[in-house]
Every structure is written in structure tokens, then in C-alpha cells.
Amino acid sequence: MKALEYKIFDVLTERITVSQFENWLYTNDELLSNLDSNPYYFDLFTINYSNDEWSKKLLQVTNEKHGEDFMIFFKLIEGCKKLSKANNFDEAYLHLNVLLECFDYQTEYDILWDFYLLREDFENFQFTIINKNELINKVRKLSNTTLNLMNSLEDLKSIKLYFLNNSKPKTAFTLVENKNKICTIQKKLILRIKALLFKKN
């Protein structure tokens, strides 16, 4: 049931309030009529949404029930919220790693490639002219821009369509292009290390 998936996404990402979600849940005829025969629906109804742990329990219940994109965009929004408020370099780097822990080189959306390449800058900052504050500002800006964009889209379906339509097709050329980006970063890193070692000698 796509409507249920979209509503759960909306409440978990604070696009609607818990009260709005509960009102929709408890008045949905399709859910109510299948409550006895569908354990998943039953589990959703038994969650205490007034409890502080409601979102954690909702995530546990919905785990693997919805498509892969559901978790991709949920983690993207949660990651951007934390990155936009990161107070220091280490905190921002930690949130970047959490956001990209399931990064897929072959199928990933372009927006996650932007975060991936930014993480490379974090890992190699000591070999560049960019300082830590500049990197923190860059990741905050990218996070806020991404959040504003996603908040402007109507629902999960609209978010999926936007990022699909604004991503390069994952062709062999795209994969080679992404690999070349990584190789370029690695080559620059090796050259900088060699330069530092030469200076020491």
C-alpha cells in the first residue's frame, strides 16, 4: 500500500505531525478492514504514538516492509539534518560516514555522490589548501540545500521522481566517470604524500 508507505515516510521525516499520522491511520478504511488478517497493520496500530520512543518502534516495525528508496531518502534527510547542525569537523565527518555506510558505487543517486566526494575532501584535507572550517561550511550548505529541496517536494513519490529525473543514467560511461573521480583523488593524495616525504628528506 503506497499511501501507507508515503505517510510513514512523512511522519518519520517530520513532514506531518504524529497526530496527523494517527488520525489518518485510525480512519483509513482499507487498514481497518484488513487489521485482523495483516500482522503488519496490526503492529502499526499497537504502537503507542504518545511515547517518546514511537519513531524508533515505527522504524523497527516498518524495517524491510517498504522499498529500498524509502530508507535511502529517510537516511538522507536524517543525515542532512545532523550535518546542517554539525559543530565541528569530527562531528561532520562522523555523520558523513553514517550517511554513506551503504553507498553503492554502481547504483547510487547523484546527490549521494556529492556527499561521497565531499567526504573524500574531509579525509584528505591535510593535503589540500582547504581548511576544516571551509569543509564544515560546504557540508552544511549542501545539507541545507538538499533539505530545502526535499521539503519543497510533495511526498516520497515526488522525491523519487525528482532525483531519478535529475540523475545521470547509470551507464557504463557513468560508472567509468565516477571511478575516474576516485582515481583522480587517489592520485592527488599519492602526489601530496610523496611531496611531503621529499621535503622531510
* For the chain, domain boundaries: 2-62, 68-200
How crowded is residue 91: how many other Cβ atoms within 10 Å of its Cβ? 14
Please give the pLDDT value at position 19: 96
Please give the pLDDT value at position 148: 94
Q: Is 68 exposed, middle or buried (0-12, 13-18, 19+ CB in 10 A)?
A: exposed
Here the contacts of 122-129 (C-beta below 8 Å, separation 24 or greater) are 122/89, 122/92, 122/93, 122/96, 123/93, 124/185, 124/188, 124/189, 124/192, 127/188, 127/189, 127/192, 127/193, 127/196, 128/192
How far is Cα 150 from Cα 77, in angstroms, rounded to an integer? 8
Please give the pLDDT value at position 163: 86
Rounded mean pLDDT for each run of 10 residues along the chain, 201 residues in total? 91 95 95 93 94 93 84 92 94 94 77 89 77 92 95 90 71 47 57 58 56
Q: Which residues lie closer than 8 Å to 65 by C-beta, 6 or more apart?
A: 40
How far is Cα 185 from Cα 122, in angstroms, rounded to an integer? 12
